[in-house]
Chains A and B, each alone.
Chain A
Amino acid sequence: MHVLVAGTGAALLSLDRTLIGQWMVSRPVVLGTALGWVLGDVQTGWWVGLLLEAISLDTEPVGGVIGLNGTIAVSVTLLAALGDARLPLGAAFPLGLVFGLLYRPLEEKLRRRRDGWTGLFASRLREGERAPWAKAYVTSFFEEFATAAFVLTAATFAATAAAGILWRAAPAFVRVGLEDALAISPLLAAGTLIWQLVRKERIGI
């Protein structure tokens, strides 16, 4: 039940990323803490959120650029690690990153679908009708929510189960290596955050 609540909440909050508000509640550091609280381990949720927050700062959402989807990445990581499957964090973290990357073409498709609205609005206005705002907004929100919910469901059940099987079947050095890479990740996060703040072209503005 907790997993269902967490997954649905994460899919809803993913709307904050671009469509509604952009109040940063979908950011990994905030969403990770919230998911950790729902799933019973706030510390892990916060820690994973902080790591992914720094990593996802790599790409700024300027123009049409689509970077790693930090919302999906943190949700998949925590649903896999703290959900029913209890996948070790060493495996859940790269799984989250993979889904965060795989979401990019889906996001591109969702954006392209919205290209058609301008044409519809133009034809309605020419005919003297009011613009179909409610229909456009509800459709846009629903498509985004449904896509995120589908991806999180697929990740939580199918991908996590597959990852669990691979984890148990993997040689010991692979498991230890994945845990080592996770242990180094805080250095990656700190270095990425520091770089974002010292980039020369920014200082030069």
Chain B
Amino acid sequence: MQALWSPATMQNLGLLYALEPALDRLYPKLDERRDAAMRHLSYFNTNPYMAGFVCGFVARLEETADEDRIEKLKKAMGAALAAVGDASVWGSLQPACAGFAFLAAVAAWSFDFQHAALVCSLMYLLLFNAPTLWMRWRGIALGYDLGETLPVVMQEWRWQEKARWVRYGGLACALAAPLYLIVREIGFVGPRAIFPAAGIAAVVLLRRWGFSSLSIYGLCLFAALGWRGVSSLL
């Protein structure tokens, strides 16, 4: 879908490539097939993991051959699913997978499991690709079968609530992993445990105030160099 992504028209060519078999079947005449292909050269964009739904939906719309309606509904559906996909995948699933993989690796490492790194990577890939491959594959058939009722049905699936719970799960893992490391390495009782916890809290606060991770790294670097520089002079 994104192999020919460009800033001007985004995923238009990817969508056309996916629709081509359907257009070839629906429009045996060259003129009609050419006109159908031409209308999909306009701007189009959606979340790549939700694109299957849009492909199926548009293939269904093409059976009506109403050009204006196809164009309007295609863009509307693309935008709506982009919002769902961005919140679900980029905003929830991806960071949650990173959190879970982190916890899995910490757990494997604490049991002296030599393949902690492999566990981490495989867990990450499995947790991310299982639902997204399902969405991409089943999405085409569902988009076609449900047609214009797709948004209503997706509302019934309660995507937002599911995405929220995925985030909560990821958050629990992301909190548990450093907490476990702090307790294991430093010990829960004592002031030394406060410093890493305070460091993490400081990063969260700085991020909340709009600092990017790179700028926070830059600040840490500046502080570390300054501290060591001053120490070397004294």
Contact = CB atoms under 8 A, between A and B. Distances in A.
Contacts of A180: 224, 227-228
A154 interface: no
A190 B117 contact: no
A166 interface: no
Contacts of A125: 34, 37-38, 41
B146 interface: no
Contact of B204 (A111, A126, A173, A194): A194
A115 B9 contact: yes
A19 to B, nearest CB: 5
Contact of A188 (B102, B105, B216, B228): B216
B199 to A, nearest CB: 4
Interface string B1-29: 01111111110110011001000000000
B13 A188 contact: no
Interface string A169-184: 0011110111011001
A50 to B, nearest CB: 6
A70 to B, nearest CB: 11
B214 A58 contact: yes
Interface in A21-35: 22-25, 27, 29-30, 33-34
Contacts of A34: 121
Contacts of B105: 46, 50
Nearest to A133: B17
- Which of B12, B20, B49, B121 has the most chain A CB atoms closer than 10 A to its own CB? B121
Interface stretch (B59-67, B124-132, B137-145, B147-155): B124-132
B159 to A, nearest CB: 9
A42 B232 CA distance: 35
B75 interface: no
A47 B207 CA distance: 22
A118 B12 contact: yes
Contact of A60 (B90, B204, B207): B90
A184 B178 CA distance: 13
A24 B207 contact: no
Given A55-B217, A122-B38, A140-B4, A23 B129 contact: yes
Contacts of A131: 16, 20, 37
Interface string A119-131: 0011001101001
A83 interface: no
Interface residues of B, number: 81
Contact of A112 (B6, B178, B204, B232): B6
Interface in B210-232: 212-214, 216-217, 220-221, 224-229, 231-232
A101 B94 CA distance: 21
A194 B92 contact: no
Q: Is the interface of B mostly helix, strand, loop or mixed?
A: helix
Given A33-B121, A137-B3, A190-B203, 16 more contacts: A20-B3, A34-B121, A50-B102, A101-B214, A112-B7, A122-B38, A128-B30, A174-B225, A177-B225, A181-B217, A185-B220, A190-B178, A191-B207, A194-B171, A197-B96, A202-B167
26 contacts: A24-B128, A43-B117, A45-B117, A55-B214, A58-B214, A61-B90, A62-B82, A62-B86, A101-B214, A111-B5, A118-B12, A125-B34, A131-B20, A136-B13, A177-B229, A178-B221, A180-B224, A180-B228, A181-B217, A184-B224, A190-B200, A191-B204, A192-B203, A193-B174, A195-B203, A197-B171
Interface of B: 2-10, 12-13, 16-17, 20, 30, 34, 37-38, 41, 45, 48-49, 82, 86-87, 90-92, 94-99, 101-102, 105, 116-118, 120-121, 124-125, 128-129, 160, 163-164, 167, 170-171, 174-175, 177-178, 196, 199-204, 206-208, 212-214, 216-217, 220-221, 224-229, 231-232
Interface of A: 18-20, 22-25, 27, 29-30, 33-34, 36-37, 42-43, 45-46, 49-50, 53-55, 57-58, 60-64, 68, 94, 97, 101, 111-112, 114-115, 117-118, 121-122, 125-126, 128, 131, 133, 136-137, 140-141, 171-174, 176-178, 180-181, 184-188, 190-199, 202-203, 205
